[in-house]
């Protein structure tokens, strides 16, 4: 099983779908509740979000008025039942699908024109035959493309920025740190919380902040949730994040004048930046 999963050009499933999933009708009902709320209330400009605009956003044609009943049937079959076509559903699933379509038209007070429109486009982008060779690749290939950016980050961090990767003794989190260097103590230390895909996309920013002769201290927390790591053994926890950063800043500024740090956070990292601003005002 593992050799097939790693080496063959396909996406495989190693474990069955959880049995505690919500019934499709419950999911659909909750979705309609949210859609009704969105389309019933104007935005801050006083404009209403119409059903046709919703449909246009999901179909590649971009025009909701072109979406006919069979287009929408295929869309719901893919989203709710993960089926490439409504014809792949069982008899019971097709009855459930028809009930969902009826509920949509009644509750949204919107009625589809019968038939199938080619101009509406397809919402099932990743099922299109043109994309199959791109997406269905061996897991080994994904691992390689995940590993290469991390190698680049490690090389730049160590060689260019002089950062070292260490484990916080108080929390077990991994951080990239460096102390103040040279006579640049007037510049405050930098703390960075990255977003999706780790540090790779932040290298140009870090080059401006830490590159050249800039000797300011730095603390970069590695967030395993979104760092392209193959392990997830250190989930993010607010008290531990504050403890790890505070401890690292004290260590980086040991023997020099203590300064409040500049906190940077992007995407998911902005949440951790907010934690620091609220819970640890003495260091930032």
pLDDT tens column, 71-97: 999 989 888 887 878 999 999 999 999
pLDDT tens column, 192-224: 999 988 898 999 999 998 887 778 899 999 988
pLDDT at position 122 over 90: no
Residue 7's pLDDT band (boundaries 50, 70, 90)?
A: low
pLDDT at position 29 over 60: yes
Residue 19's pLDDT band (boundaries 50, 70, 90)?
A: low
What is the per-residue pLDDT for 64? 87
Q: What residue spans in the chain does CATH classification 3.40.50.1820 cover? A: 139-280
pLDDT at position 1 over 50: no
Q: What mean pLDDT value characterizes the chain?
A: 83
Indicate the pTM of the whole model.
0.57
Residue 183's pLDDT band (boundaries 50, 70, 90)?
A: low
Q: Taking the domain 139-280, which CATH number applies? A: 3.40.50.1820
What is the per-residue pLDDT for 38? 83
SS (H, E, C) 204-254: HHHHHHHCCCCCCCEEEECCHHHCCCCCCCCCCCHHHHHHHHHHHHHHHCC
Residue 136's pLDDT band (boundaries 50, 70, 90)?
A: low
What is the per-residue pLDDT for 20? 60
Least confident of 104-108, 129-133, 164-168, 236-240: 129-133
What is the per-residue pLDDT for 11? 47
Least confident of 24-28, 211-215, 236-240: 211-215
């Amino acid at each position: 099983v593992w050799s097939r999963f790693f080496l063959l050009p396909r996406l495989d499933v190693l474990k069955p779908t959880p049995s505690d999933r919500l019934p499709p009708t419950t999911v659909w009902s909750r979705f309609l509740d949210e859609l009704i709320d969105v389309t019933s209330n104007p935005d801050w400009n006083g404009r209403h979000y119409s059903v046709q605009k919703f449909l246009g956003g999901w179909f590649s044609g971009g025009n909701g008025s072109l979406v006919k009943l069979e287009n929408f049937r295929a869309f719901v079959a893919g989203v709710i039942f993960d089926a490439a076509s409504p014809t792949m559903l069982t008899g019971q699933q097709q009855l459930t699908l028809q009930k969902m379509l009826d509920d949509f038209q009644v509750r949204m007070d919107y009625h589809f024109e019968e038939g199938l429109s080619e101009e509406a486009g397809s919402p099932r982008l990743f099922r299109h035959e043109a994309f199959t060779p791109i997406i269905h690749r061996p897991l080994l290939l994904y691992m390689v493309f995940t590993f290469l950016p991390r190698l680049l980050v490690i090389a730049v961090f160590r060689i260019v920025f002089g950062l070292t990767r260490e484990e916080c003794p108080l929390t077990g989190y991994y951080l990239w740190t460096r102390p103040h260097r040279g006579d640049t103590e007037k510049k405050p230390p930098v703390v960075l919380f990255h977003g999706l895909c780790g540090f790779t996309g932040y290298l140009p920013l870090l080059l401006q902040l830490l590159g050249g002769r800039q000797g300011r201290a730095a603390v970069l927390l590695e967030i395993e949730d979104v760092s392209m790591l193959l392990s997830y053994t250190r989930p993010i926890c607010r008290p531990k994040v504050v403890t790890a950063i505070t401890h690292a800043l004290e260590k980086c500024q040991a023997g020099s004048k203590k300064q409040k740090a500049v906190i940077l956070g992007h995407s998911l990292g902005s949440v951790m930046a907010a934690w620091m601003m609220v819970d640890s005002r003495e260091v930032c």
